[in-house]
Structure 1
């Protein structure tokens, strides 16, 4: 999957100015999984590999609906719901009118939350909280890409959420090093970042932990 994401141009890296993520963290690399929608073969690969993994770990047992996270997770959730012949819902980042959830959801339904990627994890926490408040049971989150760097467990573990991802920055680093996708200096910077993401973020003007941003 890391190879496919690199080939699709989803990965960007730079040394001069760090990427400022919406969650407040700074990073030398950025992933744009929204590009997946333009590549039919990659779309099918994501769905096939994702469902195979979820079945293997039992994450689809008892699931009654698929929920996409606004906005990038909706298309992926729709493909997976179609493949599974299950109802589709989506959860907004903020409530619109009286509801944050779109679709016909029943209290007690077990749902699979789907999104494209995760960096800081705050939006996933809010999605899970909104679904729980609506009476849904959320035990598993599927994402194509997990930064695998920031302390997302501090947000999701208390909610009992298991995270399933097809690739992370360590996978990208391994493939990029083998293929020479980036200059050695970029690869070295990524290695430094991965060794201590919070310290790298703080040193480059980003947050160092969740409490720092309130």
Structure 2
């Protein structure tokens, strides 16, 4: 999704969060040696939102933007708990639950296999309306496991929030939409590209290659040995 199709509030949030991620070194441009994403796509860019845990002022600003996004898009009293996805979503879940003054849960990728054999940790209550929180999303597929786990525990999950959404791969939101989940996000690669150009963070050549990727990620991924549209979700 390009920045042009978003509201002014979304654009301001996207630019602020993108600049923060650039400043703390969470953004990596490497078109000459592409990254293989967990989804199978090849990408000249990689984002490491886990770095935010080491920057208190940066994370406070990001969480405030997340809180405002939730209030604006979901509502003041439309959630009962916040659930972080194992592992990168757990700190974001903790910070956001504190900011929203809501109980926190966290969701394991699979049941731990001993003791209570729980996949949901905390104090889940049947019927709770839960926001799933993760650090980022590429094609949305990894979120489905967490959503299914929450629903299997008799919790409601109609919303997920990530700090960063790639926002370029075709059909990226299809699985979530078909599962009745709305994905909310703070920044995309379009925001990062704009911030990178404004701040002169990367070479002209690197920026041009990233722009080529953003305009046609399928062709770029295929050309660099990644997945193609026949397996896109």
Query: Shorter-chain TM-score category?
Result: over 0.9
With 94-103 and 36-45 compared, the bigger mean Cα shift is at 94-103
> What's 1:81 paired with?
97
Q: Scaled by the length of structure 2, what TM-score is found?
A: 0.87
- In structure 2, C-alpha distance between the alignment counterparts of 1:213 and 1:83, rounded to whole Å: 36
Q: How far is the alpha carbon of 1:91 from its aligned partner?
A: 0.8
Structure 1 residues 213 and 54 mapped into 2: Cα distance closer, same or farther (>3 Å)? closer
> What's 1:120 paired with?
139
- In structure 2, C-alpha distance between the alignment counterparts of 1:103 and 1:76, rounded to whole Å: 15
Q: How far is the alpha carbon of 1:152 from its aligned partner?
A: 2.0
> What's 1:171 paired with?
191
Q: How far is the alpha carbon of 1:109 from its aligned partner?
A: 0.9
- Determine which of 162, 165, 168 is the counterpart of 1:146: 165
Structure 1 stretches (4+) deviating beyond 4 angstroms? none
Q: How far is the alpha carbon of 1:213 from its aligned partner?
A: 8.1
- Determine which of 73, 79, 92 is the counterpart of 1:57: 73
Q: Scaled by the length of structure 1, what TM-score is found?
A: 0.94
Any residues of structure 2 matched to 1:85-96 within 5 Å, and which? Answer: 85-96=101-112
- In structure 1, C-alpha distance between the alignment counterparts of 2:80 and 2:167, rounded to whole Å: 28
Give the paired residue count. 213
CA contact (8 A) 1:14 1:186 kept: yes
Over the residues paired in the alignment, what is the CA RMSD in angstroms? 1.6
> What's 1:180 paired with?
200
Q: Name stretches of at least 5 consecutive residues in structure 1 with no aligned partner.
A: none
CA contact (8 A) 1:66 1:112 kept: yes
- In structure 2, C-alpha distance between the alignment counterparts of 1:3 and 1:148, rounded to whole Å: 17
- In structure 1, C-alpha distance between the alignment counterparts of 2:60 and 2:28, rounded to whole Å: 23
Structure 1 residues 60 and 114 mapped into 2: Cα distance closer, same or farther (>3 Å)? farther
Q: How far is the alpha carbon of 1:33 from its aligned partner?
A: 0.4
